């Protein structure tokens, strides 16, 4: 049977990465990502089957090399963002940290995840999963991962190149934490 990854699978794995090797439970992730525990459980199961996560004893962690390769080389073709109209929302891609420190936007409205409570006006850019704007607001590290992933999904060449550089750095940091806690 074929494995069909869903966008929320990547969101769940990014949340685990953002926790920087702190133990987690399905219920915690579900609450923090505004998903059901069964959605998180199914996402982890698909990630394990796809080789994007690995089980070590009772713990499950992202399989760094495979996940990094998928994010850098496959994600943009599988989870293509939908762009829409001018609206209010939460900045993403080059308009959010950490890319906004390196990329100066042009006169175009920035990419944003539509959100009625958002503080930025820009062009709609579909998040990987519907709960991403809220989850990102409550977790700055997850927000950075998601914004970098969005630069890969739909950014221009310069934005993608910088995002790739920063993602590689984040994975190295995660792997260093993983080794120190093993």
Over its length of 182 residues, how does the chain's per-residue pLDDT go in tens digits? 677 999 999 999 999 999 987 889 999 999 999 999 999 999 999 999 999 999 988 899 999 999 999 999 999 999 999 999 999 999 999 999 999 999 887 888 999 999 999 999 999 999 999 999 999 999 999 999 999 999 999 999 999 999 999 999 999 998 888 777 65
- What is the distance between the alpha carbons of residues 158 and 138, in angstroms, rounded to a whole number? 28
Q: Does one domain contain both 89 and 30?
A: no
Question: In this predicted structure, what is the pLDDT of residue 49?
Answer: 96
Question: Would 92 be classed as within a structural domain?
Answer: yes
* Domain hosting residue 29, numbered range: 7-76
Q: Does one domain contain both 48 and 20?
A: yes
Q: Does one domain contain both 148 and 96?
A: yes
Cβ contact 3:52 at 8 Å: no
Number of domains present in the structure of the chain: 2
Cis-peptide, bond into residue 53, ω within 30° of zero: no
Q: Does one domain contain both 135 and 108?
A: yes
Q: How far is CA 44 from CA 25, 116, 134, 139, in A?
A: 11, 30, 21, 20
Question: In this predicted structure, what is the pLDDT of residue 176?
Answer: 86
Question: Would 54 be classed as within a structural domain?
Answer: yes
Q: Does one domain contain both 104 and 138?
A: yes
CATH of residue 53: 1.10.10.10
Question: In this predicted structure, what is the pLDDT of residue 160?
Answer: 96
Cβ contact 129:136 at 8 Å: no
Question: Would 101 be classed as within a structural domain?
Answer: yes
Q: Which residues pair with 62 in a beta bridge?
A: 53
Q: Does one domain contain both 71 and 85?
A: no
Q: Which of 25, 45, 76 is the last residue of a domain?
A: 76
Q: Which of 33, 52, 76 is the last residue of a domain?
A: 76
Question: Would 128 be classed as within a structural domain?
Answer: yes
Question: Would 181 be classed as within a structural domain?
Answer: no
């Amino acid at each position: 049977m074929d494995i069909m990854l869903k966008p929320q699978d990547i969101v769940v794995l990014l949340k685990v990465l953002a926790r920087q090797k702190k133990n987690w439970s399905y219920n915690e992730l579900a609450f923090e990502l505004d998903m059901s525990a069964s959605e998180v459980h199914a996402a982890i199961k698909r990630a394990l089957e796809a080789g994007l996560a690995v089980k070590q004893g009772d713990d499950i962690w992202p399989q760094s090399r495979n996940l990094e390769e998928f994010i850098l080389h496959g994600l943009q073709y599988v989870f293509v963002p939908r762009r829409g109209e001018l609206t209010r929302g939460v900045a993403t891609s080059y308009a959010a940290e950490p890319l906004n420190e390196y990329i100066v936007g042009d006169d175009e409205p920035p990419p944003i995840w539509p959100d009625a409570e958002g503080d930025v006006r820009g062009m709609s850019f579909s998040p990987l999963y519907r709960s991403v704007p809220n989850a990102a607001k409550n977790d700055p590290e997850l927000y950075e991962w998601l914004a970098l992933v969005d630069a890969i999904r739909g950014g221009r060449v310069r934005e993608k190149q910088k995002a790739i550089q920063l993602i590689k750095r984040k994975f190295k940091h995660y792997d260093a934490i993983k080794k120190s806690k093993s």
